Amino acid sequence: MQPFFTLEHSDKTSSARAGRVRTEHGEIETPIFMPVGTQGTVKAISPRDLETAGAQIILGNTYHLYLRPGDQLIRKAGGLHKFMSWPKPILTDSGGYQVFSLADLRDLSEEGVRFKSHFDGSRHLFTPEKVIEIERNLGTDIAMVLDECTPYPCSFEYAEKSHRMTLNWAQRCSTRFNENGPVHDYRQFLFGIVQGSTYPELRKLSAEGLMQIGFDGYAIGGLAVGEPKHQLYDMTAICTEILPQNQPRYLMGVGKPEDIVAAIGLGVDMFDCVIPTRNGRNGMVFTWNGKMKYKNSEFREDFRPIDENCGCYTCRNFSRAYLRHLFNTGETLVLFLASLHNIYFYLELVREAGKAILSDRFASWRKEFYERYEKNS
Amino acid sequence: MQPFFTLEHSDKTSSARAGRVRTEHGEIETPIFMPVGTQGTVKAISPRDLETAGAQIILGNTYHLYLRPGDQLIRKAGGLHKFMSWPKPILTDSGGYQVFSLADLRDLSEEGVRFKSHFDGSRHLFTPEKVIEIERNLGTDIAMVLDECTPYPCSFEYAEKSHRMTLNWAQRCSTRFNENGPVHDYRQFLFGIVQGSTYPELRKLSAEGLMQIGFDGYAIGGLAVGEPKHQLYDMTAICTEILPQNQPRYLMGVGKPEDIVAAIGLGVDMFDCVIPTRNGRNGMVFTWNGKMKYKNSEFREDFRPIDENCGCYTCRNFSRAYLRHLFNTGETLVLFLASLHNIYFYLELVREAGKAILSDRFASWRKEFYERYEKNS
């Protein structure tokens, strides 16, 4: 059997890596960006269009899917892939982040986290074991452990206590994950999550603790929550220096194109973020020449595509003026067209980064990217 | 040059007809249903998906496009086809219906109709000549004359006066249409609209008056506005008996599958209606076995497609349970999936009707359709 992850090349001009993740739903070339499909759909984009845009793996949110339509229903449907008609790999988060950001009346303890649903007020308890059972039912290729995502700023005392609880939860998740086989007829993989807020020593302890338990891959959590940019980069670098070379690293919830490029240079392999879809829906698109608010009046009679050189369906067929018109008139087609372009851009971005890594020119590629991208942003 | 319309076959078991409409953007096999693209997009469906669903011609709303983004802007874009990236034929209504149903403070006279925009209160005047100029700028293949769509019920006196004004407007539209050549580099065609409310003698006068002016095709307007079903059918039959055999007939705003089938049997060739897209967005889909409210709780764990035998993208990939989940969670993907299925169904419906006509079995096909469709509706 081939390994879950192969490190194919380490760039000679940076810490960037190119690799390959293997799941029973297909292979993933890293570095990779994972479009976010919170409620069993990447908002406004059909699975067919996601594939055409180059998506290799998507992310589902355990918290949302557990509440609606429920993990038992998805289990009956044959798993999340079948339910949403997405044949390629899926990663699910643990639901922890959403419990802390969306749910009401959280009650956090070693046992787990009690919360009230944000949409109907029903009461629930997520324990590490419960979350693994849910992710088993969903049948995703890569499951995440339950963790507490600390806010920013966060006192050292709180961060230390929290990271220790997260480590205990990770151990319980691993134990439960290894006790029971998969619910569906394919293998699943489990990632640990490094926490520790902005404290280097806690990040180190957290990463080492997870490595002692042993996971298929490691995520870096608790970042992109409001901390200064240098701390995002510093904490990421501290983690990637410690984490095993021959396993994938996933920087959760990051993010902006410039941060993804920076984190690839620090040795991160996997990314997810709602920015491309959310910003697309709100009137903004990404290009190699920077961001563009297509809803602005300056594009009223601009009949050029978002990006003349882009190969996405949107750019090959529609103008800025048309997108602006759809946005102005509240036509939902624009949610699809703008989201699709942004997903295509993000996937092209990581693909181009991968090519640069494979030819040992990531540092110069990164420099060129920033010069072009930030000039107009 | 081939004629604009060819009557290819008249069914021997009914008044149904199969024909062919030719425009510079392609041919249309009749009977045909035209999906409605009010604001330069069939709501939630990309042009590529419309084509895949079998759409041969779509309808645009002159009132909406005149207000936003404006016919001058669309003229600069190279016409509506290029603006919205729809390469096939387009028909535009005259805007009259929307002025009467949407705009505020209408002031109707022989000159035309003054109104305030329903979204920004700006004041405008539609004259017959103005409407032709707008439709020239939009560059649609088939333009409609300005008419007054009388409400139901409507007194004989009002209906008589209104239909005479509509006839005068039709003459002025025709004159302006023939005075000026097209703005874009392809030919346009002009349809008259029969009015006369529910009064057979007025319908007859209206149709004869229009035929005297002479149009490329004839629409039947002012129906499906609340009148009893027998009047919809009676008025349609009166018009199709009078209108020229060798020109297309278009029943405006109709409608439900059962009404379309009935009207095809009365000799109508073209239809448009927002029902398939609007109802799809509101939780309802059409099948050969009747209507289905996919949002209902009975479909919670129903993992079958809407229709096992349907060839649309939605039915080939997604379950009722999944559609219901998307609807319940407010995911916009369902707007696309449900609308696409309904458009596919409507187009399959008219295609099957056409086949039945070509083999002289429309009456029996119609009977089978009603038995199956109405049993469950």
Mean pLDDT of A241-267: 98
Q: What is the pLDDT of residues A349-371, one digit of tens each?
A: 999 999 999 999 999 999 999 99
Q: Bigger pLDDT: A1 or A120?
A: A120
Q: Is residue A309 predicted with pLDDT exceeding 80?
A: yes
pLDDT band for position A96 (cuts 50, 70, 90)? confident
Q: What is the pLDDT of residue A104?
A: 77
Q: Domain of residue A214: give its range.
A: 5-274
Which residue, among B191, B156, B134, has the nearest Cα to B5 in the 3D structure? B191
**pLDDT value at position A377?**
62
Chain-centre distance of CA B173, in angstroms? 20
Q: Which residues of A touch B84 (CB under 8 A)?
A: 322
Q: Tell me if B364 is assigned to some domain.
A: no
Active-site residue, from A93, A216, A259, A307: A93
Examine residue B168 and state whether it is found in any structural domain, yes or no. Answer: yes
Interface contact flag, A333 B43, Cβ < 8 Å: yes
Of A43, A84, A328, the CB nearest to B322: A84
Chain B residues close to A67, C-beta within 8 Å: none
pLDDT digit string, tens, across residues A30-81: 999 999 999 999 999 999 999 999 999 999 999 999 999 999 999 999 999 9
Chain B interface, best mutation among A65, A66, A332, by max B CB count within 10 A: A332
Mean pLDDT, chain A, rounded, equals 97
In this prediction the pTM is: 0.98
Residues of B in contact with A76 (CB under 8 A): 301, 303
Residue B42: what residue type?
A: V
Q: Are the beta carbons of B254 and B270 closer than 8 angstroms?
A: no
CA distance A164 to A150: 12
Residue A239 maps to a domain: yes
**What pLDDT shows up at residue A102?**
83
Residue whose C-alpha is closest to residue A142's, from A198, A92, A105, A75: A92
In this complex, do A313 and B46 lie within 8 Å of one another by their Cβ atoms? yes
Given a cut of 70, whether residue A123 has pLDDT beyond it is yes
Is A106 a residue whose pLDDT tops 90?
no
Q: Which residue of B has its CA nearest to A70?
A: B325
Mean pLDDT by runs of 10 across the 377 residues of chain B is: 95 98 98 98 98 98 97 98 98 90 84 92 95 98 96 97 98 97 96 98 98 98 96 98 98 97 98 98 98 98 98 98 98 98 98 98 98 85
Q: Which of B183, B97, B169 is nearest to B138 (CA)?
A: B183
Determine, yes or no, domain membership for B161: yes
In angstroms, rounded to a whole number, what is the distance separating the alpha carbons of residues B243 and B267? 10
CATH of the domain at B64: 3.20.20.105
The C-alpha atoms of residue A361 and residue B75 are separated, in whole angstroms, by 47
Catalytic, A93? Answer yes
Q: Is residue A319 domain-resident?
A: no
Q: Any idea of the CA torsion for B334, B338, B344, B346, to the nearest 10 degrees?
A: -150
Of all residues in chain A, the percent with pLDDT exceeding 90 is 94
**Interchain CB distance below 8 Å, A332 and B46:** no
DSSP 8-state class, residue A217: E
At A99 the pLDDT is: 85
Q: Give A217's pLDDT tier (boundaries 50, 70, 90).
A: very high
Q: Closest Cα to residue B15, out of B209, B249, B199, B202? A: B249
Tokens 């563009």 locate to: A292
User: For chain A, where are the alpha helices, taking DSSP H only?
Assistant: 47-52, 62-67, 71-76, 80-84, 96-101, 128-138, 156-179, 200-213, 229-242, 257-265, 275-281, 313-317, 320-328, 333-358, 362-376
SS3 at position B81: helix
Which residues are CB-contacts of B359 (< 8 A; sequence separation ≥ 6)? none
How far is it, in rounded angstroms, from Cα A372 to Cα A352? 14
- Tell whether B359 lies on the interface with A, counting CB pairs under 8 A: no
**Residue A181 counted as domain residue:** yes
User: CA distances (Å), B16 to each of A190, B222, B241, B269, in order?
Assistant: 63, 22, 12, 8
Known catalytic residue at A307: no
d(CA B128, CA B176): 8
Q: Is A360 left (phi over 0), alpha (psi -120 to 50) or beta?
A: left
* Confidence check: pLDDT of A210 > 90: yes
Number of domains within chain A: 1
- Compare CB distances from A41 to B64, B78, B331 and report the shortest one's residue: B331
**Phi and psi (nearest 5°) for B205?**
-60, -40
Q: Are the C-beta atoms of A290 and A376 separated by less than 8 Å?
A: yes
- pLDDT at position B100: 81
- Single-letter amino acid, residue B234: D
In a domain, B351, yes or no: no
Q: Which residues of B touch A303 (CB under 8 A)?
A: 76-78
Residue positions of B annotated with a catalytic role:
93, 272
Residue B50 lies in a domain: yes
Q: Is B215 on the interface with A (CB under 8 A)?
A: no
Q: Give yes or no for B333 touching A (CB within 8 A).
A: yes
- The answer on pLDDT for A103 being more than 80 is no
B 66-95 residues with CB below 8 A of A? 68-69, 73, 76-78, 83-85
